[in-house]
Amino acid sequence: TVTFDEKVYDKILEINSQEGEMVPLKEPVMAQGNVEVWLGDLLRISRASLHKIIRDGAISIQ
Determine the pLDDT at residue 18: 95
Half-sphere exposure of residue 44: CA atoms within 13 angstroms, side-chain side: 10
Task: Identify the domain containing residue 13 by its residue range.
Answer: 2-60
Q: Which residues lie closer than 8 Å to 32 by C-beta, 6 or more apart?
A: 10, 38
pLDDT at 4: 98
Q: What integer pLDDT is reported at residue 40 of this predicted model? A: 98
| pLDDT, tens digit, 9 for 90 and up, residues 1-50 | 999 999 999 999 999 999 999 999 999 999 999 999 999 999 999 999 99
Cα–Cα distance, 30 to 9 (Å, whole number):
9
**Residue 56 confidence (pLDDT):** 95
**Element at 48 (helix H, strand E):** helix 35-60
Look up the CATH number of the domain holding residue 28: 3.20.180.20
For the chain, what is the domain count? 1
The confidence score (pLDDT) of residue 49 equals 98
